[in-house]
Structure 1
Amino acid sequence: MKNIGKRIMVIGSPGSGKSTFSRKLSEITGIPLIHLDKEFWNDGWVETPKDQWLEIQKSLIEGDEWIIDGNYGGTIDIRLEKADTVICFELSRLVCLFSYFKRVITNLNRVRPDMPEGCNEKLDFEFMKYIWEFPKKSGKRNKDRIEGNRNKQIIIFKNRRESNKYINNIKTIYKSNC
């Protein structure tokens, strides 16, 4: 296992475990965590205007260390330019949909830690459709972009066992370095 980088992108389907993984990785490494959903959405699920979003993205990557959790395909190249590591979750659509349902049930009408105030969890059928279509649409575009960057460390998880094993290995490495 290679050493983890200092500028890490975590991408993949909604419901795949990106946010949970990113939080654990940040806790172990001490690398600051940025949830793109928390930066993009405003109170009441209002989107940040595109020009402002581009500027926010550029400022987010200025730091020497970060873990950025989220896709946002329209701005992925901004993050990809500075990232040294890309972690991509490619879990099955059924697993991701099941996780989404579980998340909705657990957090219904509450704000998750990776979301801004005023964006309460809700059941969203359009979002379910997005999750179902993600592997063939957004996921494929994202994968095509990252595969063209051979100078990056690219880590792909096909299931939660792989991501959990990775987290446990990182934990062991960081404990032995203390």
Structure 2
Amino acid sequence: MKRIMIVGGPGSGKSTLARRLGEALDLPVFHFDHIHWKPGWTPRPDEEKQALVEEIIAGETWVLEGNHSRSYVLRMARAEMLVFLDLPRRLRMTRLLRRWLKYRGRTRPDLPEGCPEHLSLEFLRWSWNWDRAKRPTVLRLAEESADRLVIHILRSPAEVQQFVEDAGSRSARLRTR
């Protein structure tokens, strides 16, 4: 697989998985937060986001992670694989709090410079409601795309770990042939 789309609720580990897959499969990694945000937590205009997504997915190889639902269909049309991190809400919320504590006031690796980590009540609410608001769309699109995409729905950290290990070992076997 050379074009991989990763989606999941906030705190599900999309960025971490993207980095790990990029390393294991020697693919370039793109974080949607870099597409969406400019320094100072300023959102890009929709036209700019669309152009950046189109530029990335026109490439032959990529791992693109993020939840910009307006570009799901566009990204899925070019992806070969969809990975949906469908982890429990309680785990995701705990991870969000841990991430905030770890990076508070600093820019984490999957964000553009000038976007120091912060945690707002609005973001926590959006994160809490993600399962109800966004999850059904991801599941529906995955089902509709199952005939042309390899789909992995991972529901636990152990499944994510096994997925990365399997991807890495498959990649290593292909490189030695």
Normalised-by-shorter TM-score class:
over 0.9
After the TM superposition, which segments of 4 or more aligned residues of structure 1 sit over 4 Å from their partners?
Answer: none
Distance 2:65 2:115 in 1: 17
Q: Letter of the aligned partner of 2:113 in structure 1? A: E
Cα shift at 1:47 = 0.5
Structure 2 distance, partners of 1:175, 1:75, is 32
Does residue 1:85 correspond to 2:81, yes or no?
Answer: yes
Equivalent-residue separation in structure 1 for 2:79 and 2:170 (angstroms): 21
Matched, 1:131 2:148: no
2:155 is matched with 158
State the TM-score, normalizing by the size of structure 2. 0.95
Secondary structure, counterpart of 2:12 in structure 1: coil
The match for 1:10 is 6
TM-score normalized by the length of structure 1: 0.94
Partners of 2:29 and 2:76 in 1: CA distance: 16
* Partner Cα separation in structure 2 for residue 46 and residue 78 of structure 1: 24
Q: Percent same amino acid at aligned positions? A: 28
Gapped regions of structure 1 (runs ≥ 5): none
Deviations 1:79-138 (A, max 9, x none): 011011000011111000000000000000000111001110012111111111111111
1:169 aligns to what?
A: 166
RMSD over aligned Cα atoms: 1.0
More helix by share: 2
Size of the aligned set, in residue pairs, is 174
**Partner amino acid for 1:118?**
G
- Unaligned runs of 5+ residues in structure 2 are none
